[in-house]
Chains A and B, each alone.
Chain A
Amino acid sequence: MEETVTLESGKKRTQIADVDRSRYDFRYDDSQAEKLDAGLTPDIVREISERKDEPEWMLEHRLHSLEVYHGMQMSDWGPSIDGLDMDHIVTYVKPPTEQQSDWDSVPDNVKDTFDRLGIPEAERSYLAGVGAQYDSELVYHSMQENAAKLGIVYSGIEEALHGEYAGLIREKFMTLIPPTDHRFAALHGAVWSGGSFVYVPRGAKLDHPLQSYFRLNAKGAGQFEHTLIIVEDDASLHFIEGCSAPKYNVANLHAGAVELFVGKRAHLRYSTIENWSKNMYNLNTKRCRCEEEGEIEWISGSFGSHVGYLYPMSILAGCKARASFTGITFAGRGQNLDTGCKMVLAAPETSASVDTKGISKDGGIQTFRSSVVATPSAQGSRCTVSCQSLMLDDRSRSDTIPAMDIRCKNVDIGHEATIGRIGDDKIFYLMSRGVSEEEARTMIVNGFAEPISKELPLEYAVEMNNLIKLEMEGAIG
């Protein structure tokens, strides 16, 4: 299915017309939603927990996380988050519905939102399952029967806390990302809400992807969904995550957490297209642990947000485990996106590769930050990091900050970074064939992004190219 992407989508890519911001930037009145008071107190945390009717251990986890949060300093590196006033972020906004498994039961506003984002359509045409979150809660979750027959579980994580896998969740929950990791991990631990749970049993292989879509509609609110995926030995899964929000003039916060467990010889591809609105502080944390010969592939497109910190981490814990990270970040006007990844080579003969593209435009700042750690047991491991940046004008910035911590002889680490501009000769060449300057630039940027978009299923590649086109509009003059 995906093999056709390169050629077929290549054609579509330059033909996409009529991209419309309103596809993402529309909002509904949130007066029907139930909101908890802004701020962070044990009472708020208790109330969230109570509403969810969670097990006692989870409440304890939340309260503990809150304590950690209050005792922790903000990090002193990366883009400024001074515009984020934590005392005024609403941590919990419940949409006016319970979770549904057919779209017709979802309230019109909410359904319309996902319709406009193309989710039900995608579900019909090629997804094996869909979860849709609106503000703090999942409003829809459904999976095809054939996936269920394989024993695959795909449900809301809160629902799963009451089900068969409750014990497993308790065993894994926030072990890869402990609340003590950083201040927003602690915050997440205290107020998390919504998110998906996926369990792929040993040997099960799902052909079509599962997708979760996160939509933050409420103004001045935070979204803190928790995604937990367990892919057992020899199993295989492609999971897609999408997100967007309408634009407000006050700060919104996203501090989700993604924890992925990949078993022996198992395979997980985790694709994300992030398109938060440009008032969003995206302080998201993602981690994966791979056992022997297991493989994680991250595909990541970051387009939205005002400020972003995002560094998915792969811990290669088993011999010959593999990880690859393929990412693109596009920072336009008013955006400061600090993205990259961490690779931890913690077993013999592991291999990791990082291939990223960064684009900055209109005064945007794009920083690629990577960290490669090889532990003393990483003998015979390899890691290559390649990062290319493109600055579209003189006002924009691109930086590369690679870090390495190698504690093992006999590992092979390579790093390569280039920062460049669009050559005037290329623009002239394209224009000499009748293509307008704007289109010429868009073509070159799309081409630059091609190694990433070709990794995505066709429909997402098209969406990504639409986003690039949107960002490029009005670039001239």
Chain B
Amino acid sequence: MDNMLLICRGLCASAGEKAILHDVDFEMRSGEAHVLMGPNGAGKSTFGHVIMGDPAFQVTGGSIVFDGIDIVGLSTDKRSKAGLFLSFQAPVEIPGVPLRSFLRAMVDAHGLKMKNKEFKGRIKELSAELDMNPAYLDRELGVGFSGGEKKKVEMLQLLLLRPKLAILDETDSGLDVDALSVVSRGMELYRQECGGTLLVITHNTRILERLTVDRAHVMVAGHIVDEGPASLIDEIDAQGFERYETAGLAIEGK
């Protein structure tokens, strides 16, 4: 159990009537990098959202223990302050709120005690790191940002907050080659500088070329159907999910 950062046991979750996650067991140690794969609609994003406490989903069974505490009853903001971070598959747009003020509010909410000058310096530095035009900082959050730009903004927030666990939900999808290497550099930076723990949800094995993966999990139809070392990723890349889909159905039929 030592340095276990995240433990889900028998986690079941639904959106209203619709049950999405079934009996999910999931463990991560501090400092590790894990990958969660699975076909479209398997429940990967739901898993990330449930861990983050999205009220759109109800936990109907099981537990989520993060950093030694059961967080199921905790509101989303408290989970964030406890050190959880979710990079959204589809980041939202908030008209009228400049990215810069949003970042400032976030830093203040986390009690990071950054003076304005330090804050300015930091976000400027991070924009450069992520190859982001600093003019974006004065644009309204998400509004008119391209898909790739939105993902970079997610990375910027990650590096600013330095959480204990970051769940990156398809942060690598829809990126051009350059943006992809920017994002993977960001991931590296997060691991090196913050000793960060990563859960990467992805369909794209390219991003994994530059990341040492400790463990891979496969989700099909809301069930964890397989897990294993990094080599599992290559197997899936070669063979797809077909062999699991029947397995998944078998579990469902039980």
Q: Interface residues, chain A, CB within 8 Å of chain B?
A: 6-7, 10-11, 13-15, 423-426, 428-437, 439-440, 443-444, 446-451
Contact residue among B86, B94, B105 (Cβ-Cβ distance under 8 Å from A432): B86
B1 at the interface (CB under 8 A from A): no
Contact A448 B95 (CB under 8 A): yes
B104 at the interface (CB under 8 A from A): yes
Contact A447 B94 (CB under 8 A): yes
Contact B56 A428 (CB under 8 A): yes
Assuming the contacts A14-B102, A439-B109, asked whether A432 and B97 have C-beta atoms less than 8 A apart, the reply is: no
Contact A434 B110 (CB under 8 A): yes
B76 at the interface (CB under 8 A from A): yes
Contact B100 A11 (CB under 8 A): yes
Listed A/B pairs (8) with beta-carbon separation below 8 Å: A14-B101, A425-B56, A429-B92, A434-B77, A444-B97, A446-B96, A447-B96, A449-B96
Q: Which of B83-97 contact A (CB under 8 A)?
A: 85-86, 88, 91-92, 94-97
Nearest-neighbour CB distance to chain B for A437, whole angstroms, equals: 7
Contacts of B56 in A (CB 8 A): 424-425, 428
Contact A448 B96 (CB under 8 A): yes
Contacts of A11 in B (CB 8 A): 98, 100-101, 104
B161 at the interface (CB under 8 A from A): yes
Contact A433 B91 (CB under 8 A): no
Contact A10 B92 (CB under 8 A): no
CA of A449 to CA of B91, assembled, Å: 21
Contacts of B55 in A (CB 8 A): 424, 428
Contacts of B95 in A (CB 8 A): 447-448, 450
Contact B94 A425 (CB under 8 A): no
Contact B138 A437 (CB under 8 A): no
Contact A7 B138 (CB under 8 A): yes
B54 at the interface (CB under 8 A from A): yes
B75 at the interface (CB under 8 A from A): yes
Contact A13 B92 (CB under 8 A): no
Contact A432 B109 (CB under 8 A): no
Contact B94 A430 (CB under 8 A): yes
Nearest-neighbour CB distance to chain B for A353, whole angstroms, equals: 19
Contacts of A450 in B (CB 8 A): 95-97, 140
Closest 3 CB pairs of A and B: A447-B96, A450-B96, A434-B109
B70 at the interface (CB under 8 A from A): no
Which of A7, A433, A440, A450 gathers the greatest number of chain B CB atoms within 10 Å?
A433
Nearest-neighbour CB distance to chain B for A462, whole angstroms, equals: 13
Chain A interface main SS type: helix
A10 and chain B: residue at smallest CB distance:
B98
Contact B105 A437 (CB under 8 A): no
Contact A10 B100 (CB under 8 A): yes
Assuming the contacts A13-B101, A428-B76, asked whether A435 and B109 have C-beta atoms less than 8 A apart, the reply is: yes
B147-187 vs A, CB cutoff 8 Å, 1 = contact: the mask equals 00000000001000100000000000000000000000000
Contact B75 A437 (CB under 8 A): yes
Nearest-neighbour CB distance to chain B for A331, whole angstroms, equals: 19
Contacts of A446 in B (CB 8 A): 96-97
B48-79 vs A, CB cutoff 8 Å, 1 = contact: the mask equals 01001111100000000000000000011101
CA of A436 to CA of B79, assembled, Å: 11
Assuming the contacts A433-B106, A433-B157, asked whether A447 and B97 have C-beta atoms less than 8 A apart, the reply is: yes
Which of A6, A10, A439, A449 gathers the greatest number of chain B CB atoms within 10 Å?
A10
Contact residue among B81, B101, B138 (Cβ-Cβ distance under 8 Å from A434): B81
Nearest-neighbour CB distance to chain B for A464, whole angstroms, equals: 12
Given contacts A15-B101, A439-B109, A450-B140, 18 further A-B contacts (CB under 8 A): A11-B104, A14-B97, A14-B104, A423-B92, A428-B52, A429-B91, A432-B85, A432-B88, A433-B106, A433-B157, A434-B77, A434-B106, A437-B75, A440-B77, A443-B105, A447-B141, A448-B95, A448-B96
B78 and chain A: residue at smallest CB distance:
A434
Contact B80 A431 (CB under 8 A): yes
CA of A429 to CA of B54, assembled, Å: 9
Contact A15 B92 (CB under 8 A): no
Contacts of B140 in A (CB 8 A): 447, 450
Contact B97 A433 (CB under 8 A): no
Contact B96 A432 (CB under 8 A): no
Nearest-neighbour CB distance to chain B for A369, whole angstroms, equals: 24
B226 at the interface (CB under 8 A from A): no
Contacts of A432 in B (CB 8 A): 52-53, 76-77, 79-80, 85-86, 88
Nearest-neighbour CB distance to chain A for B154, whole angstroms, equals: 10
Nearest-neighbour CB distance to chain A for B232, whole angstroms, equals: 29
Contacts of B97 in A (CB 8 A): 10, 14, 443-444, 446-447, 450
Which of A423, A437, A443, A451 gathers the greatest number of chain B CB atoms within 10 Å?
A443
CA of A433 to CA of B97, assembled, Å: 15
Assuming the contacts A428-B56, A431-B80, asked whether A7 and B109 have C-beta atoms less than 8 A apart, the reply is: no
Contact A14 B105 (CB under 8 A): yes
CA of A450 to CA of B56, assembled, Å: 28
A444 and chain B: residue at smallest CB distance:
B94
B242 at the interface (CB under 8 A from A): no
Contact A15 B108 (CB under 8 A): yes
CA of A274 to CA of B94, assembled, Å: 26
Assuming the contacts A432-B52, A437-B75, asked whether A15 and B104 have C-beta atoms less than 8 A apart, the reply is: yes
